[in-house]
Amino acid sequence: MSDAVLFSIIAAGGVALVAAGYWLYGRRLRRTTRPRLEQAASLLGGDFDLGRRTASGQLEGYAVRVRLHSFHSVDALGQGETSEWAEIHCKLPKGVAQSMLLRLRSQREADTKLSRDGRLVDLILGHGSFDGAHVVEGAPEDLVRGLLTAEVCGIIAANGVRVDLPDHGSDDELRLTIENWPTPEALSQCLALAARLSKRAGEVLTAAEQAIAEGAAALGQVPAEAVLAVRAERTREIAEVAAMAASRNRRSIMIGVALTAAIVGLALLFVKFS
pLDDT in tens, 20-73: 444 444 555 556 789 999 999 999 999 999 999 999 999 999 999 999 987 665
pLDDT of residue 191: 95
Binning pLDDT at 50, 70 and 90, where does residue 273 land?
Answer: low
Q: How many residues does the chain have?
A: 274
**Residue 184 scores a pLDDT above 60:** yes
The per-residue pLDDT for range 191-224, each reduced to its tens digit, is: 999 999 999 999 999 999 999 999 999 999 999 9
pLDDT of residue 264: 57
pLDDT of residue 271: 56
Binning pLDDT at 50, 70 and 90, where does residue 152 land?
Answer: very high
Gap between the Cα atoms of 23 and 237, Å rounded: 50
Mean pLDDT across the chain, nearest whole number? 81
Domain segments of the chain as ranges: 3-273
pLDDT of residue 130: 94
State percent of the chain over pLDDT 70.
Answer: 74
Contact 44, 64 (CB under 8 A): yes
User: 153: burial class by Cβ within 10 Å (0-12, 13-18, 19+)?
Assistant: buried
DSSP codes, 13-54:
HHHHHHHHHHHHHHHHHHHHHHHHHHHHHHHHTSEEETTTTE
Mean pLDDT, residues 166-195 taken together: 88
**Residue 178 scores a pLDDT above 60:** yes
Which of 14-28, 186-200, 257-271 has the weakest average pLDDT? 14-28
**Residue 188 scores a pLDDT above 90:** yes
Contact 88, 75 (CB under 8 A): no
State percent of the chain over pLDDT 90.
Answer: 50
**Helix boundaries (H) for the chain:** 3-44, 96-99, 111-116, 129-133, 141-147, 150-159, 184-218, 223-273
Binning pLDDT at 50, 70 and 90, where does residue 115 land?
Answer: confident
Global pTM value:
0.76
Gap between the Cα atoms of 224 and 214, Å rounded: 10
**Residue 93 scores a pLDDT above 90:** yes
